[in-house]
Amino acid sequence: MKLLANIISGMFHPLLMVTYGLILAFSFTYLVIYPPAMKFLLVGGTFLSTALIPGAFLFFMVKTGHVVDMELSNRRERTLPYLIIISSVMVCAFYMIKMMMPFWFVSLLLGVCVALIIALVINFFWKISAHMIGIGGLLGGIMGVAHTHVMNPYWCFICMILISGFVGTSRVLLKKHTPMQVYAGFILGFGCTFIASILSFIYLFI
């Protein structure tokens, strides 16, 4: 059971969520019309900036003893890694602007930044689940985009809710978080990206 929990935690690591979100956007929104070469360039740049580079920094910090593990189990060690990840998402947002991506996607990245900043502050006092911030943010973004674009991918909602449950259960089984830390992370991630997507829609009419 712990092996399965570790596999699920690895597959849905927070650093991968932005890349997953972009792949979903290219697959199920009007962005599907983008040419394959452009999609590859954008997905590759997103993976590089939000997963590979910050992941390399975390790996270096683990090897040098600055943090215990890649999952940042000790909340007191999360400040610098969180700042690195926030910076990486902001770089990705700037890259998306330069690549002429629609504002609603950039706003989702800004929502992610807000969620991470709030989590950074919370972690000074209490541990909150970064995995659930990531998966909650992904689901919040999907629901927000579906609402503003008048879509109803109910099968996608069902799959994401099930995945969220699996990830949350895995974090509790591995004793990385308490149920309350899991719920709090999910609500924070979901709320920030959902609100960001709604605000981006309102911004278009201002």
**CA–CA separation, 143 vs 148, rounded Å?**
9
Q: Which residues of the chain have pLDDT under 70?
A: 203-206
Q: What is the pLDDT of residues 79-98, one digit of tens each?
A: 999 999 999 999 999 999 99
pLDDT at 168: 95
Q: What is the pLDDT of residues 12-46, one digit of tens each?
A: 999 999 999 999 999 988 999 999 999 999 999 99
Torsion-angle region of 141 (φ positive above 0: left; ψ -120 to 50: alpha; else: beta): alpha
| Predicted TM-score (pTM) of this structure | 0.93
Radius of gyration of the chain (CA): 16
pLDDT at 206: 52
Q: Which of 137, 136, 86, 147 is nearest to 108 (CA)?
A: 137
Q: Count CA atoms closer than 13 A to 182's CA, side-chain side.
A: 17
pLDDT at 152: 80
Q: How wide is the angle at C-alpha 43 spanned by C-alphas 38 and 44, nearest 5°?
A: 95
Angstrom distances, CA of residue 34 to CA of 15, 37, 130, 184: 24, 8, 31, 36
